[in-house]
Amino acid sequence: ERLPFKVAHITQATRYAQGFKHTVIDTEARPGSEDFAALLEAGDFLVIPAPPGTLDTHALILTLEEIKAQQGEHGRGRFAVLVVKVPTRSRAGEELRDELKAAGVPILKTMVPELRAFEKAVAQGVAVHDVKDPYAASAWDAYAAAGKEIERMAR
Q: What is the pLDDT of residues 98-153, one digit of tens each?
A: 999 998 899 999 999 999 999 999 999 899 999 999 999 999 999 999 999 998 88
**Mean pLDDT for the chain?**
84
Q: Cα(22)–Cα(41) distance, rounded to whole angstroms?
A: 16
Distances in whole angstroms, Cα of residue 135 to Cα of each of 108, 118, 131 = 22, 9, 9
What pLDDT score was predicted for residue 45?
83
